[in-house]
Amino acid sequence: MTKRDMSHSGKTSSRAADERVLILDFGSQYAQLIARRVREQHVYCEIVRHDITAEQVRRHHPAGLILSGGPSSVYDANAPRCDAEMFRLGIPVLGICYGMQLACEILGGKVESAPAREYGRAHCTITDTTDLFAGIPGEMDVWMSHGDQVARVHDDFVPLARTRTCPITAVRHRRMPVYCIQFHPEVTHTPLGGTILHNFLTLICGCAGKWRLGEFAQETIGLLRERVGAGRVICGLSGGVDSSVTAALLYQALGSRLSCILVDNGLLRKDEEASVISEFSNHFQTDLHVVKAEQRFLDALRGIRDPQEKRKRIGHAFIDCFKEEAAKIGDAKFLAQGTLYPDVIESGAAPDGPAATIKLHHNVGGLPDELGFELIEPLRDLFKDEVRRLGSELGLPDDLVWRHPFPGPGLAVRCLGEVTHERLAVLREADAICVAEIKAAGLYRQTSQAFAVLLPVQSVGVMGDARTYEDAVAIRCVNTDDFMTADWTRLPYEVLAQISTRIINEVKGVNRVCYDISSKPPATIEWE
């Protein structure tokens, strides 16, 4: 879990402090997966900057430290490093990939460019099946991703494993609780990686696995009550899981002191507005404000084709609408939004680790300081699967909890090219058919996200005896655990055929349907 930014949540959580693990982020694409795997062992964890000091680590009282992988070479002048004093605190350390190379180099070893790089699956021989590799057979498959490797370790290190091209695949220190592995135990391609992490957390760090999402909910509710006091919070609803769970959590904490605003920007899915009104007027009985603003957003998007410019304009239009409606509420000091940890990473906003900016707009989306509210993001430590489980614990219905994610800018980033009322109508109907057929096939819960994309492409077709020149629709369906990586879903041909037939027959102006078979990375889940 990411270390909480004081400006967002008011204080750092103390939950399960006796079993806290810190993950030092050196820029690995897998750092967030490490956090998820640790939490799967019911151990609380935080992702922190790689340059956290030993004294700061000591104040956290962690049970263990994990050094993530990263894209750098430890011998480069500007390579990220950690405080060497951390290894002398007596706190168990697990170095993974770059983390192994850095730990071994700091403690007297040497790292060099490998004579044979390893990317992908590798066969590993375990030479010591105690502690870290307890219960692991002598041979196992692992996932490698490195061009450098440890060429030599100090005499204080004991070898634990090797591969054909990496003779020092895993080591432990003789005197200090420092363990290092070159492969990635956090990815599913290392089948026994969960056992290795379990061994580190339980046998080496002494964790009992006591952290639960229920604790997160109760402590977060307490923190919200303490921070908000007698004040009022405004929550922006989008109809998606994230904002809905945020609102439900706030409702549990504040009751009638929660006001929700739904901006109908004309970019919502079919029947989205009615669903939100029903849930948050009837089930939660919140103070719900609905702003009709379709034309304002369409005016802002007129002639705009660039994806990032779309996001910016939608964000500005949203702020204007939100300001006007919030002014009518009057006594609110706080604004809540359903930011998740992948949002923080992809928008480049994480204060505790390096990240490239992939997206500019999430949910409420990049609200500037001049909006005049204190920002509350109670879910910013969580991944999507954890948010779903939390929603169930808070009493949200399954059809809302398991609803597929929807981007903050709505259908605008699924309507490639110019966004118009007419093109949105085509996309909305095609999207509804896609989702309906996947539900009818009983596959909705088995897929992570499914939707239609309207392409800025027309193609020749034949309907009856007439030649057509109409729009093309792409169907995107992916499977993922954390939305940081994803693979395209192998939908049955008969389901794809039914989706295609219905869209072409029922959606006027479409004569071609394609299926997207790209993974993330290198593609993103959304097309824009």
**Which strand (E) or helix (H) includes residue 325?**
helix 307-329
What number of residues does the chain have? Answer: 528
Residues 148, 296 share a domain: no
Confidence at residue 161, expressed as pLDDT on a 0 to 100 scale: 96
Residues 174, 227 share a domain: no
Q: What is the mean pLDDT of residues 193-219?
A: 91
Residues 395, 295 share a domain: yes
Confidence at residue 243, expressed as pLDDT on a 0 to 100 scale: 87
**Measured distance between the N- and C-terminal CA atoms of the chain, rounded to whole angstroms:** 27
Percent of the chain having pLDDT more than 70?
90
Residues 423, 388 share a domain: no
The letter for the amino acid at 118 is: E
Residues 222, 145 share a domain: no
In the predicted structure, residue 481 carries a pLDDT above the cut 80: no
Q: What is the mean pLDDT of residues 463-476?
A: 87
Q: Is there a domain that residue 79 lies in? A: yes
Confidence at residue 352, expressed as pLDDT on a 0 to 100 scale: 42
What contacts 390, CB < 8 A, 6 or more positions away?
Answer: 213, 216, 217, 245, 249, 379, 382
Q: Is there a domain that residue 168 lies in? A: yes
In the predicted structure, residue 17 carries a pLDDT above the cut 60: no
Instruction: Evaluate the CA torsion angle 509, 514, 515, 519 in order and state its sign.
Output: negative
The mean-pLDDT minimum among 177-181, 331-335, 481-485 falls in: 481-485
Query: What's the CATH code of the domain at 502?
Result: 3.30.300.10
CA–CA dist 244, 401 (Å, integer) = 8
Dump pLDDT digits (tens) for 25-38. 998 878 888 988 99
Residues 159, 232 share a domain: no
Confidence at residue 345, expressed as pLDDT on a 0 to 100 scale: 57
CB atoms < 10 A from the CB of 400, how many? 20
Which residue, of 204, 226, 253, is where some domain finishes? 204
Q: What is the mean pLDDT of residues 38-52?
A: 90
Dump pLDDT digits (tens) for 291-302. 999 999 999 999
Under the banding of pLDDT at 50, 70 and 90, the label for residue 369 is low
Range of the domain at 500: 414-515
CA–CA dist 241, 400 (Å, integer) = 6
In the predicted structure, residue 5 carries a pLDDT above the cut 80: no
Residues 320, 266 share a domain: yes
In the predicted structure, residue 55 carries a pLDDT above the cut 60: yes
Confidence at residue 200, expressed as pLDDT on a 0 to 100 scale: 97
Confidence at residue 371, expressed as pLDDT on a 0 to 100 scale: 63
Confidence at residue 337, expressed as pLDDT on a 0 to 100 scale: 84
Domain count, the chain: 3
Q: In what order do the strands lie in the sheet with 287-292?
A: 287-292, 258-264, 232-237, 332-336, 374-376
Q: Is there a domain that residue 78 lies in? A: yes
Q: Is there a domain that residue 527 lies in? A: no
The encoded tokens of residue 286 equal 């919140």
Q: Is there a domain that residue 66 lies in? A: yes
Dump pLDDT digits (tens) for 128-187. 999 999 999 999 999 998 889 999 999 999 999 999 989 999 999 999 999 999 999 998
Confidence at residue 414, expressed as pLDDT on a 0 to 100 scale: 96
In the predicted structure, residue 453 carries a pLDDT above the cut 90: yes
Give 124's strand partners.
Answer: 140, 163
- Please, what is the Cα angle at 55 between 54 and 57, to 5 degrees? 65
The encoded tokens of residue 177 equal 């609780």
Verify cis geometry, omega within 30 degrees of 0, for the bond prior to 80.
no
CA–CA dist 395, 392 (Å, integer) = 5
CA–CA dist 156, 172 (Å, integer) = 8
Under the banding of pLDDT at 50, 70 and 90, the label for residue 347 is low
> Nearest to residue 271, comparing CAs of 86, 130, 432?
432
Dump pLDDT digits (tens) for 381-407. 788 888 988 998 888 888 888 889 888
The mean-pLDDT minimum among 145-154, 234-243, 299-308, 309-318 falls in: 234-243
Residues with catalytic annotation? 97, 184, 186
Q: Is there a domain that residue 6 lies in? A: no
Confidence at residue 52, expressed as pLDDT on a 0 to 100 scale: 93
> Nearest to residue 376, comparing CAs of 5, 79, 1, 3?
5
The mean-pLDDT minimum among 15-24, 415-424, 474-483, 518-527 falls in: 15-24
Confidence at residue 468, expressed as pLDDT on a 0 to 100 scale: 84
Which residue, of 343, 368, 401, is where some domain finishes? 401
Which residue, of 401, 432, 464, is where some domain finishes? 401
In the predicted structure, residue 358 carries a pLDDT above the cut 50: no
Q: Is there a domain that residue 4 lies in? A: no
Query: What's the CATH code of the domain at 77?
Result: 3.40.50.880
CB atoms < 10 A from the CB of 504, how many? 18
Residues 432, 370 share a domain: no
Q: Are the C-beta atoms of 183 and 190 separated by less than 8 Å?
A: yes
Distance set, CA 223 to CA 19, 227, 231, 255 (Å): 20, 6, 14, 15
Distance set, CA 366 to CA 232, 326, 515 (Å): 21, 17, 32
Residues 177, 259 share a domain: no
CA–CA dist 99, 81 (Å, integer) = 9
Residues 356, 458 share a domain: no
Mean per-residue pLDDT of the chain: 87
In the predicted structure, residue 356 carries a pLDDT above the cut 70: no
Confidence at residue 7, expressed as pLDDT on a 0 to 100 scale: 33
Under the banding of pLDDT at 50, 70 and 90, the label for residue 342 is low
Query: What's the CATH code of the domain at 267?
Result: 3.40.50.620
Residues 242, 160 share a domain: no
Confidence at residue 351, expressed as pLDDT on a 0 to 100 scale: 42
Q: Is there a domain that residue 406 lies in? A: no
Dump pLDDT digits (tens) for 404-419. 988 888 999 999 999 9
Confidence at residue 323, expressed as pLDDT on a 0 to 100 scale: 84
Residues 470, 344 share a domain: no
Dump pLDDT digits (tens) for 94-135. 999 999 999 999 999 999 987 777 788 899 999 999 999 999
